[in-house]
Structure 1
Amino acid sequence: MKISPWFNTHRLFSIALFLGGVFATQASDTKHTVNQPSILTFGVVPQQAASTLARKWSPLLAALSQNANFQLHFATAPDIPTFEKRLAKGVYDIAYMNPYHFTVFNESPGYQALVKEQGKKITGIIVVQKRAKAQSLSDLDGQLLAFPAPAAFAASVLPRANLKIKGINNQIKYVGSHDSVYLAVAQGLVAGGGGVKRTFKTMDKEVTKQLRVLWETPGYTPHAVAIHPRVPVGVREELMIKFIQFSATQEGSMLLQGLGFNPFEAAKSSDWNDVRALGLGGFSQPLETNDK
Structure 2
Amino acid sequence: MKKFIFSLFLLFYSALSPAQQSLTFGIVPQQSAAELAKLWGPIVKDLSRTSGIDIHFATAPDIPTFEKRLSAGEYDIAYMNPYHYVVFNQSPGYQALAKARDRLIKGILVVAKDSKINELTDLQNTTLAFPAPAAFAATILTQADLTAQEIDFIPNYVSSHDSVYLTVAKGIYPAGGGVLRTFENIPAELRGQLRILSTTKGYTPHAIAIHPRIAAEADKLQQALIAMEQRQTGKDLLDKINIKGFAQAVDSDWDDIRALKLQQLSAK
TM (norm. structure 1) is 0.84
| CA RMSD, Structure 1 to Structure 2 (Å) | 1.8
What is aligned with 1:287?
267
Find the aligned partners of 1:253 and 1:67 in 2 and give their Cα distance. Answer: 14
Find the aligned partners of 1:72 and 1:39 in 2 and give their Cα distance. Answer: 6
What is aligned with 2:191?
208
Q: What secondary structure, in the 3-state scheme, does the structure 1 residue paired with 2:240 have?
A: helix
Question: What is the percentage of aligned positions where both structures have the same residue?
Answer: 51
Mapped contact 1:38–1:69 kept (Cα < 8 A): no
Mapped contact 2:50–2:224 kept (Cα < 8 A): no
| 1:160-199 CA-partner distances (Å, limit 9, x unpaired) | 1111111000111000000000001000000100000000
Letter of the 1:276 counterpart: R
Task: Pick from 251, 257, 264 the counterpart of residue 275 of structure 1.
Answer: 257
Letter of the 2:96 counterpart: A
Give 1:34 deviation, angstroms: 6.4
Q: Structure 1 residues 176-185 or 272-281, which shifts more?
A: 272-281
Mapped contact 2:120–2:198 kept (Cα < 8 A): yes
| 1:191-242 CA-partner distances (Å, limit 9, x unpaired) | 1000000000001222111100000000000000010001142x11101000
What is aligned with 2:232?
250
Task: Pick from 114, 126, 150 the counterpart of residue 131 of structure 1.
Answer: 114
Change (3 A) 1:168 1:266: same
Find the aligned partners of 1:180 and 1:169 in 2 and give their Cα distance. Answer: 22
1:120 aligns with 2:103: yes
Change (3 A) 1:67 1:128: closer
Mapped contact 2:204–2:257 kept (Cα < 8 A): yes
Find the aligned partners of 1:76 and 1:161 in 2 and give their Cα distance. Answer: 27
Find the aligned partners of 2:109 and 2:263 in 1 and give their Cα distance. Answer: 24
Task: Pick from 36, 43, 49 the counterpart of residue 26 of structure 2.
Answer: 43
Find the aligned partners of 1:198 and 1:80 in 2 and give their Cα distance. Answer: 17
| 1:59-85 CA-partner distances (Å, limit 9, x unpaired) | 111111115441111000000000000
Task: Pick from 221, 240, 249 the counterpart of residue 239 of structure 1.
Answer: 221
What is aligned with 1:101?
84
Q: Structure 1 residues 79-88 or 59-68, which shifts more?
A: 59-68
Give 1:281 deviation, angstroms: 3.4
1:181 aligns with 2:159: no
Q: What secondary structure, in the 3-state scheme, does the structure 1 residue paired with 2:118 have?
A: coil
Change (3 A) 1:167 1:253: same
Mapped contact 1:114–1:266 kept (Cα < 8 A): yes
Find the aligned partners of 1:262 and 1:272 in 2 and give their Cα distance. Answer: 20
What is aligned with 2:7?
none
Q: What secondary structure, in the 3-state scheme, does the structure 2 residue paired with 1:278 have?
A: coil
Find the aligned partners of 1:48 and 1:103 in 2 and give their Cα distance. Answer: 22
1:260 aligns with 2:230: no
What is aligned with 1:60?
43
Find the aligned partners of 1:160 and 1:131 in 2 and give their Cα distance. Answer: 23
Find the aligned partners of 2:121 and 2:98 in 1 and give their Cα distance. Answer: 38
Mapped contact 2:131–2:161 kept (Cα < 8 A): yes
For residues 5-44 of structure 1, the aligned pairs below 5 Å read 37-44=20-27
Rg bigger for which structure?
Answer: 1
Letter of the 1:166 counterpart: Q
Letter of the 2:116 counterpart: K
Give 1:40 deviation, angstroms: 0.7
Runs of at least 4 residues off by over 4 Å: 33-36
Tell me how many residue pairs correspond in the alignment. Answer: 256
What is aligned with 1:21?
none
Mapped contact 2:101–2:243 kept (Cα < 8 A): no
Change (3 A) 1:220 1:90: same
Letter of the 1:126 counterpart: L
Task: Pick from 201, 204, 207 the counterpart of residue 218 of structure 1.
Answer: 201
